[in-house]
């Protein structure tokens, strides 16, 4: 009996100890001057972000407890934390998800802080607009970005062909592809990756035709005829050896950059984004550049737009919304912070910070900045944020259908019809 | 016994009421339960709790961000009437199970028979053959596999030596699933070790008697080895079938999480994962998980029922 009591006392004692330990560290949580931040990205982005956090702490006294994950892991984790009522104070948000999060109050409207804690003087109007949902500001754009064609200059030089420029059309791509075939360099490298499964490329092509991927009320912005024309265009490219083969394209799983056609040496061009040139250049010794997506005909523009590459938003349940707004203000305004951040998240949205950043940029960053700043007649209006099911339509419909056409399991006509009907069903189910 | 003695002793004193059943249990087993507590908390909180929650969620629409909405049988209805990808993933998984499990078992048994003949360096071979099983479900092996079976990978380089132009295995919908089946068969180590242990249990005098009677090695295998081994075959078949149904990592890595090309490697678990975490349909994914549980349970029950016709225990 005495032994039992002894054990019990021991257990009680140790649990009291544990409780004391928990209380001991309690005050550190309760201080409230620490912001929790969560973003997606790689180590390079993390290093820059942490450096800015240190600057913020030095200037403001508030600490920032920051963590990051890759894109694929980021969204489940963020959704889980949000579901658990434990969302971070500062979350990195994407154009694709901002409506979903805003409508569910998972992120907070920032309008009441604008002008006080959150200073947005001189902020690019279109970038500000991109962070609004139903007229309220939910996200601060961390940089502008545009889709862009990644070009392997070295491959073009070997083939003895002029690389594409801002006037290049889809017909020109065909001519280049034929020239590439007869040049037969690098084991028969093709001029372009198979873009039929690339949602941004389809979007760009549709916009040049005056259509849209999605309408403002979240419906499909094109009909089966357009979809059939799209699949037929690429079927022709594939059959004539202009773009890469179905088997090669299937190696690109939309995952790591290493599986893309240009990095694998299968094609000299492929659809990409302006802010990715730096990342691609670190993977390759060949000189790379970016240019716009092809035009559907000479002189037709309006396909591109300056997309907010990503936002910072404030968690809807955050206890420190004002402080978080101050942080966002510091992040986009402070010139020292801007120099640290460079254009890794896209082109800064305030003229003064752009000027502060420009002198220190390397060649690849300069190209990206020039490209996004000078889109000219290629630039069209910012499309409305895509509906909630857009991710599913992209991943499980467009990409799969493009493969089915490529491997001969469906005709372009069949795929076009199916795309439109199935996309409507997916949108219906998600709403 | 000790409990009863204690009770009579205390009631014999006549001062206190006899302790209730529960306080008796507590008095005598408290330390045991206390020591059990960490496991018990884990079991209730991390196993039973999530299982029950997922059962509840399977009758809801739940996107993680907003509270679950009751949906009745919607999820189950959609699965069986209006979801081509459910059917596709089911087909892929069944093809995988039906081909990979028997092939793996046959391979494991073959190697076990070779190793059982008693050779020099046996522990080394056993370890070497077991190694792929240890590494089997790892991401590293799946990446290695991806590189071996890529268009210009090792497999095609070897084939090229024989003048054969191999397909791009992993990125061709006709061959991609087979690379995963071969990967599974290659991980034959753990059933092989169990077969080996089973083979050691077969009395040698049976073989001696059989050879005296003039039975060939082949006949000995069919008439002695295999029947004596059926309990082990049964065990391995059940374990490997369950493993095969649960298989996830190889297809996740090799197809980059897409199940492509054209859903040819869309394992059921991968589809479930994509629904849950890719498209935030936690409720539907929970329903998928319960259907998988039911299928595996059915398979296992069927195996047990059929076992009395082909599994021979020593009796």
Looking at residues B159-186, what average pLDDT do you find? 84
Residues of A in contact with B172 (CB under 8 A): 247, 250, 407
pLDDT surpassing 70 at residue B13: no
Strand partners, B91: none
Q: What is the pLDDT of residue A215?
A: 92
Domain segments of chain A as ranges: 34-143+309-377, 147-304+387-430
Q: What is the pLDDT of residue A211?
A: 94
Instruction: Flag if A407 and B173 touch (Cβ within 8 Å).
Output: yes
Q: Which of B84, B236, B227 is nearest to A422 (CA)?
A: B84
Q: What is the pLDDT of residue A222?
A: 94
Q: Say whether residue B81 is in contact with chain A using an 8 A CB cutoff.
A: no
Place of tokens 């006080």: A116
A114/B311: higher pLDDT: A114
Residues of B in contact with A100 (CB under 8 A): 65
Instruction: Return d(Cα B311, Cα A138) in angstroms, integer.
Output: 66
| Fold of the domain built from segment(s) A147-304+387-430 | D-Maltodextrin-Binding Protein; domain 2 (3.40.190)
User: Which CA distances in Å does A264 have to A186, A270, A405?
Assistant: 11, 11, 23
Looking at residues A214-218, what average pLDDT do you find? 90
Strand partners, A151: A269, A289
Q: Which residues of A242-266 are buried (b: 16+ CB within 10 A; e: fewer)?
A: bbbbbbbbbbbbbbeeebbbbbbeb
pLDDT surpassing 60 at residue B257: yes
Q: Give the closest-approach CA distance of A233 to chain B in angstroms.
A: 20
Q: Give the closest-approach CA distance of A82 to chain B in angstroms.
A: 6
A280: CB partners within 8 A, 6+ apart:
A150, A257, A260, A262, A263, A272, A288
What does the block give as tokens for A333?
A: 């305004």
C-beta of residue A296 within 8 angstroms of C-beta of residue A206: no
pLDDT surpassing 90 at residue B162: no
Instruction: Flag if A104 and B65 touch (Cβ within 8 Å).
Output: yes
Q: Apex CA B306: angle with CA B303 and CA B312, to 5°? A: 105
Residue spans of beta strands (DSSP E) within B67-176:
69-70
Instruction: Flag if A75 and B277 touch (Cβ within 8 Å).
Output: yes
Q: Give the closest-approach CA distance of A103 to chain B in angstroms.
A: 10
Looking at residues A113-130, what average pLDDT do you find? 90
Percent of chain A with pLDDT over 70: 92
Instruction: Return d(Cα A39, Cα A311) in angstroms, integer.
Output: 10
DSSP type of residue A109 = -
Q: What is the pLDDT of residue A311?
A: 95
Confidence bin at A4 (pLDDT 50/70/90)? very low
Nearest CA in chain A to B275: A392
Nearest CA in chain B to A74: B277
A356/B121: higher pLDDT: A356
Q: Say whether residue B257 is in contact with chain A using an 8 A CB cutoff.
A: yes
Q: Closest to A82 (Cβ–Cβ): which among B65, B173, B256?
A: B65
Residue spans of beta strands (DSSP E) within A251-308:
269-273, 288-291, 307-308
Q: Closest to A79 (Cβ–Cβ): which among B34, B64, B167?
A: B64
Q: What is the pLDDT of residue A119?
A: 92
pLDDT in tens, A358-391: 888 888 888 888 898 888 899 998 888 888 788 8
C-beta of residue A403 within 8 angstroms of C-beta of residue A197: yes
- The 3-state DSSP class for residue A330 equals helix
Q: What is the pLDDT of residue A2?
A: 37
Instruction: Flag if B30 and A4 touch (Cβ within 8 Å).
Output: yes
Q: Which of A229, A305, A301 is nearest to A274 (CA)?
A: A305
Instruction: Flag if B279 and A392 touch (Cβ within 8 Å).
Output: yes
Confidence bin at A31 (pLDDT 50/70/90)? very low
Q: Closest to A247 (Cβ–Cβ): which among B168, B276, B279?
A: B168
Instruction: Flag if B279 and A251 touch (Cβ within 8 Å).
Output: no
What does the block give as tokens for A365?
A: 């960053």
Instruction: Return d(Cα A31, Cα B94) in angstroms, integer.
Output: 55
Confidence bin at A16 (pLDDT 50/70/90)? very low
DSSP type of residue A107 = B
Instruction: Flag if B278 and A391 touch (Cβ within 8 Å).
Output: yes
Q: Say whether residue B150 is in contact with chain A using an 8 A CB cutoff.
A: yes
Q: Closest to B262 (Cβ–Cβ): which among A255, A392, A403?
A: A403
pLDDT in tens, B78-120: 989 888 889 999 999 999 999 999 999 999 999 888 888 777 7
Best residue in B279, B283, B284 for a mutation probing chain A (most A CBs within 10 Å): B279
Confidence bin at A237 (pLDDT 50/70/90)? very high
Q: Closest to B256 (Cβ–Cβ): which among A101, A259, A391?
A: A259
Strand partners, A152: A288
Instruction: Flag if B150 and A259 touch (Cβ within 8 Å).
Output: no
B168/B198: higher pLDDT: B198
Instruction: Return d(Cα A110, Cα A324) in angstroms, integer.
Output: 10
Looking at residues B202-229, what average pLDDT do you find? 87
Q: Give the closest-approach CA distance of A122 to chain B in angstroms.
A: 34
Q: What is the pLDDT of residue B200?
A: 87
Q: What is the pLDDT of residue A424?
A: 92
Confidence bin at B251 (pLDDT 50/70/90)? confident
User: Which CA distances in Å does A328 have to A56, A69, A119, B30?
Assistant: 10, 20, 9, 55
Q: Give the closest-approach CA distance of A86 to chain B in angstroms.
A: 11
Confidence bin at B314 (pLDDT 50/70/90)? low
B146/B300: higher pLDDT: B300
pLDDT surpassing 70 at residue A1: no
pLDDT surpassing 80 at residue A10: no
pLDDT surpassing 60 at residue A28: no
- The 3-state DSSP class for residue A334 equals coil
pLDDT in tens, B274-294: 888 888 888 999 999 999 999
Nearest CA in chain A to B74: A429
Strand order in the sheet with A288-291: A269-273, A147-152, A288-291
Q: Which of A291, A295, A246, A250 is nearest to A268 (CA)?
A: A291
Q: Mean pLDDT over all residues of chain B?
A: 84
pLDDT in tens, A284-306: 899 999 999 999 999 999 999 98
| Fold of the domain built from segment(s) A34-143+309-377 | D-Maltodextrin-Binding Protein; domain 2 (3.40.190)
Q: What is the pLDDT of residue A324?
A: 94
User: Which CA distances in Å does A305 have to A80, A126, A145, A146, A410?
Assistant: 32, 10, 8, 6, 32
Q: What is the pLDDT of residue A13?
A: 42
Q: What is the pLDDT of residue A104?
A: 84
Nearest CA in chain B to A316: B65
Residues of B in contact with A82 (CB under 8 A): 64-65
A34-143+309-377 matches A147-304+387-430 in fold: yes
What's the distance, CA B288 to chain centroid?
A: 17
Instruction: Flag if B262 and A79 touch (Cβ within 8 Å).
Output: no
Q: Give the closest-approach CA distance of B210 to chain A in angstroms.
A: 55
DSSP type of residue A378 = G
On the question of a cis peptide bond just before residue B261, with omega within 30 degrees of 0, the verdict is: yes
What does the block give as tokens for A355?
A: 């000027």
- The 3-state DSSP class for residue A112 equals helix
Q: Closest to B261 (Cβ–Cβ): which among A11, A101, A403?
A: A403
């Amino acid at each position: 009996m005495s032994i039992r009591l002894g054990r019990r006392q021991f257990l009680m004692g140790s649990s009291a100890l544990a409780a004391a330990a928990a209380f001991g560290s309690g005050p550190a949580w309760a201080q409230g001057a620490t912001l929790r931040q969560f973003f997606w990205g790689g180590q390079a982005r993390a290093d820059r972000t942490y450096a800015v956090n240190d600057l913020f702490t030095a200037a403001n006294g508030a600490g920032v407890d920051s963590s990051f994950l890759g894109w694929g892991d980021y969204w489940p984790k963020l959704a889980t934390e949000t579901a658990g009522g434990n969302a971070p104070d500062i979350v990195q948000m994407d154009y694709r998800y901002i409506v979903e999060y805003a409508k569910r109050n998972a992120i907070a409207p920032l309008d009441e802080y604008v002008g006080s804690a959150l200073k947005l003087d001189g902020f690019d109007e279109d970038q500000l607009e991109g962070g609004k949902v139903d007229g309220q500001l939910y996200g601060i754009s961390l940089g502008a970005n545009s889709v862009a064609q990644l070009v392997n200059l070295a491959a073009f030089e070997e083939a003895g062909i002029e690389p594409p420029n801002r006037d290049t059309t889809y017909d020109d791509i065909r001519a280049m592809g034929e020239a590439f075939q007869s040049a037969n360099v690098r084991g028969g490298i093709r001029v372009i990756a198979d873009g039929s499964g690339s949602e941004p490329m389809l979007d760009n092509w549709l916009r040049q035709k005056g259509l849209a991927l999605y309408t403002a009320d979240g419906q499909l912005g094109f009909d089966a005829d357009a979809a059939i024309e799209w699949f037929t265009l690429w079927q022709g490219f594939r059959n004539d050896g202009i773009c890469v083969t179905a088997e090669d394209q299937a190696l690109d799983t939309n995952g790591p950059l290493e599986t893309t056609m240009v990095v694998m040496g299968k094609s000299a061009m492929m659809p990409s984004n302006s802010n990715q040139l730096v990342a691609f250049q670190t993977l390759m010794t060949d000189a790379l550049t970016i240019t716009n997506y092809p035009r559907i005909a000479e002189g037709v523009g309006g396909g591109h737009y300056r997309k907010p590459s990503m936002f910072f938003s404030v968690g809807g349940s955050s206890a420190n919304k004002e402080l978080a707004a101050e942080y966002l203000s510091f992040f986009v305004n402070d010139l020292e912070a801007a120099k640290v951040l460079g254009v890794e998240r896209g082109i800064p949205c305030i003229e003064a910070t752009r000027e502060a950043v420009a002198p220190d940029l390397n060649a690849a960053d300069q190209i990206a900045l020039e490209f996004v700043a000078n889109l000219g007649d290629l630039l069209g209006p910012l499309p409305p944020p895509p509906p909630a099911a857009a991710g599913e339509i992209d991943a499980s419909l467009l990409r799969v259908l493009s493969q089915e056409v490529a491997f001969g399991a469906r005709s372009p006509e069949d795929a076009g019809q199916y795309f439109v009907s199935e996309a409507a069903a997916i949108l219906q189910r998600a709403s | 016994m000790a409990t009863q003695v204690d009770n009579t002793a205390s009631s014999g004193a006549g001062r206190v009421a006899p302790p209730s059943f529960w306080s008796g249990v507590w008095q005598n087993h408290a330390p045991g339960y206390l020591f059990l507590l960490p496991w018990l908390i884990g079991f209730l909180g991390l196993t039973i709790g999530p299982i029950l929650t997922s059962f509840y969620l399977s009758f809801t629409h739940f996107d993680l961000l907003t509270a679950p909405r009751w949906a009745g049988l919607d999820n189950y209805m959609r699965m069986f009437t209006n979801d081509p990808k459910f059917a596709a993933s089911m087909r892929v998984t069944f093809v995988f199970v039906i081909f990979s499990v028997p092939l793996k078992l046959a391979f494991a048994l073959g190697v076990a028979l070779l190793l059982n003949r008693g050779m020099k360096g046996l522990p080394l071979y056993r370890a070497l053959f077991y190694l792929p099983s240890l590494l089997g479900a790892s991401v590293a092996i799946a990446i290695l596999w991806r590189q071996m079976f890529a268009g210009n990978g090792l497999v095609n380089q070897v084939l090229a030596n024989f003048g054969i132009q191999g397909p791009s295995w992993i990125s061709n919908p006709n061959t991609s699933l087979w690379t995963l089946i071969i990967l599974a068969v290659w991980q034959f180590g753990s059933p092989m070790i169990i077969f080996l242990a089973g083979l050691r249990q077969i009395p040698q005098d049976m073989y001696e008697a059989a050879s005296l009677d003039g039975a060939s090695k082949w006949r000995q295998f069919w008439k002695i080895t295999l029947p004596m081994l059926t309990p082990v075959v049964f065990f391995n078949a059940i374990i490997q079938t369950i493993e095969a149904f649960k298989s996830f990592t190889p297809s996740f890595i090799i197809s980059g999480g897409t199940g492509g090309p054209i859903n040819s490697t869309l394992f059921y678990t991968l589809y479930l994962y994509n629904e849950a975490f890719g498209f935030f349909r936690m409720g539907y994914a929970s329903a998928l998980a319960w259907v998988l549980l039911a299928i595996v349970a059915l398979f296992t029950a069927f195996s047990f029922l059929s076992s009395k016709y082909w599994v021979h225990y020593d009796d």
